[in-house]
Amino acid sequence: MKRFVLSTAVLAATLCSFSTFAQTAPKSTGDRHPNLRVAQGLVAEASTRINDAQKANEWDLGGHAGKARALLVEASDELKKATEAANAHPN
C-alpha cells in the first residue's frame, strides 16, 4: 500500500511538472528550431507512454517508471533552455 501511495504522489508531481513545461515552451520553437520542437514532443510522448505502462501494471513498476518520468521532466527543462540559448544567438 505504501508503494501505491508513493507512486501516486510521484505521478501527481510529475504530471504537474509536465503540464508546466508544456505551457512554458517558447512559441518560437517550432518556427526557428524544428528539431528542438520535435524533441520536446517526443519527451511528452514518452511521458504519456510511461503513464500508460504504469496504469497497465497498476502503478507498480518498482519506482523506475516514476524515476524515468522525473528524468523526462529534466530533459524537457534542458530542451527549453536550449531553445532559449538558440534564440539568444543571432543567426
Quote the mean pLDDT of the chain. Answer: 79
**Tens digit of each residue's pLDDT (9 = 90 or more) over 7-25:** 555 555 555 555 554 544 4
Number of domains composing the chain: 1
Which cell goes with 21? 513545461
Q: Per-residue pLDDT for 64 more than 60?
A: yes
Planar angle of CA 25, 30, 27, nearest 5 degrees: 40
Q: What is the DSSP letter of 61?
A: S
Domain encompassing residue 41: 2-88
